[in-house]
Amino acid sequence: MTYFADLTPYTYFERQEDEPGVADEPWPDLPLLNVGWLDAAHPFPTGAPPDGLMPALTDLAKTRVRQTRGYHFCEICIRDIGGDAREAIRQSAIARESAEFQVQGDGVVYAAPQLLLHYVAAHEYLPPAEFCRAALAGTI
């Protein structure tokens, strides 16, 4: 997975209609912004998430978009384990995901990797306030 700063225009994959096996984008005409595309080399904001954020994200993340054919492992966990992380990956001790989900905001859509839930829960990542407001509003 590639790092993208929060609230920058989404450019990871080209938007496509009728991607097989993936939910249709519900808001194809709204600007798409990145949230939660973290890696181990870039600092990220941390803090306590707003009340109800994790249940809201869990619900929103049930609708996967842009399912890929391989997994991306949490680079922060790999860095924190240190040394050779291959055994931890083999034992599924490192979080992994292979899709994205979207959250509609005020005139925009936020594109987030499924690993965002792990980043919030395990690494105290604090997404931007406008994303948190949109997720808590439960717009899917």
pLDDT tens digits, 89-112: 777 777 777 789 999 999 999 999
- Tens digit of each residue's pLDDT (9 = 90 or more) over 59-87: 999 988 886 777 778 888 888 887 677 77
Rg (CA), the chain: 15
Taking residue 36's Cβ as centre, other Cβ atoms within 10 Å add up to 25
Exposed e or buried b per residue across 56-69, where buried means at least 16 C-beta atoms within 10 angstroms of its C-beta = bbeebbebbbbeee
- Tens digit of each residue's pLDDT (9 = 90 or more) over 41-55: 999 999 999 999 999
Q: What is the pTM of this model?
A: 0.84
